[in-house]
Amino acid sequence: MADPMSNVRFSRVVRTPSSERYAMYDADDDLVGFLDLHYMGTTAVDSIYGSVILLDEFEPEDEEAVIDLINSEIVESLSPGWTPVELVMEVYVGRRVSTYSDSDDYDDLGDGMDDEF
């Protein structure tokens, strides 16, 4: 069986000056999770702290595959050749219980929002 996380694509849902949120989709365009990244540093990004929230449990090697994709497609794109002083990613498995928004325009899955990687 092919590695289910090797074809994950990221769709940015929101960006702030110091953080980003991505929805993660598999090759069949099914939502598989979310990624939250927080950029730390006083004048430049020194460290990145992230939370990977998977909607289903995966094998450890599949989790490592998605961390590798985060590194190659998001972290390394911040500045070619740059490596953060500290990169910490925590992986969680959970399910969405509900979504609350005061906006009729909110797209809780990130479909069609902002950049795709």
| pLDDT (tens place) for every residue of the chain, 117 residues total | 355 566 899 999 999 989 999 999 998 999 999 999 999 887 667 889 999 999 998 888 988 999 999 988 888 887 777 778 888 999 999 887 777 777 766 665 544 444 443
Contact 23, 109 (CB under 8 A): yes
Whether 78 is in a domain gets the answer yes
Model pLDDT, residue 15: 94
pTM above 0.75, yes or no: yes
Examine residue 33 and state whether it is found in any structural domain, yes or no: yes
Give dist(CA 23, CA 13) in Å, integer.
Answer: 7
Q: Is residue 71 a part of any domain in this protein?
A: yes
Report pLDDT for 97. 79
> Is residue 111 situated within a structural domain?
no
| Burial classification of residue 36, based on how many CB atoms lie within 10 Å of its CB (0-12 exposed, 13-18 middle, 19 or more buried) | middle
Instruction: Please report the pLDDT score of residue 9 as a whole number.
Output: 93
Helix, strand, coil share of the chain (percent; to 5): 15, 35, 50
As for how many domains the chain has, the answer is: 1
104 inside domain = no
CB 65 within 8 A of CB 6: yes
pLDDT of residue 89: 92
- The residue range of the domain holding 60 is 9-93
Task: Determine, yes or no, domain membership for 98.
Answer: no
> Tokens 């960006």 — which residue?
15
Using CA atoms, how far residue 81 sits from 73, 74, 75, 78, in Å, is 13, 13, 10, 9
Query: Residue 41 phi/psi, 5° resolution?
Result: 155, 155
In a domain, 114, yes or no: no
On whether residue 117 sits in a domain, the answer given is: no
